[in-house]
Chain A
Amino acid sequence: MIGTLVDGLVALFTLLGSLAVLVAAVGLLRMPDLYTRMQATSKAATLGAILVLIGTAVAFGSTAITVKSLIVVVFLALTVPVASHMLARAGYVAGVRMRDPNAIDELDGRYEVSTHRLLAGRDVEKPSTRD
């Protein structure tokens, strides 16, 4: 009885997780520009990996393995946002554009690319056009 329940939970988590990873991969392939692709992979893929790891923890049911999968879950949740933020900033500095030319760029004229300084308030004279 308990065995069937555990098996069902493991199957649910594993399948849900791998489907989330598949959705992330489709998003990575189909999204129109770097920034939209980035939000597809950094959220959906992390969710998928975390769900699969929870499934693994349930499947073994021992403390050591649960702790080990929890370590991976916490580590992923901490590092993936940092890594994708750094990658997005590298793309912005390198001048990768958004697909829609009329999209609002809040950083336009407020960010010194060479020094990574964020200008605020009266430092900004006029929004320059960043082409």
Chain B
Amino acid sequence: MIELVCEIALGILGLSLALTFARLVRGPALEDRALALDMISTTSVAVAAVAAVRYRSSVYLDVAVVLGLIAFIGTVAFARYLERGEKQ
């Protein structure tokens, strides 16, 4: 039963990844794209957590930890870059 629930949840998360990707492609501003990238990494944390339950393996939780770190650093770097770029 848990396997089925996890697969349904993975499907829902995949659908939201597709919707987020549509925003990433459509833009219109660079900030919207950076926001979509941030959202993709947050969704990936959720995907890793569901995969940990589905495959009964705690390794996926380490993936979630690292993805959370990378998401923060990446978004901060993008924001700094966008702000700096407008200044000159």
Task: Report which A residues bind B (CB closer than 8 A).
Answer: 7, 10-11, 14-15, 17-19, 21-22, 24-26, 28-29, 34, 37-38, 41, 45-46, 48-49, 52-53, 55-56, 59-60, 64-65, 68-69, 71-72, 75-76, 79-80, 82-84, 86-87, 89-91, 93-96, 114
Majority-rule SS of A interface residues = helix
* Chain B residue total in the interface (Cβ 8 A): 51
Majority-rule SS of B interface residues = helix
B13 neighbours in A (Cβ, 8 Å): 18, 21-22
| Complex Cα spacing A52 to B45, Å | 9
Contacts known (A19-B12, A52-B9, A94-B29); A28 close to B42, Cβ less than 8 A: no
| Complex Cα spacing A64 to B80, Å | 36
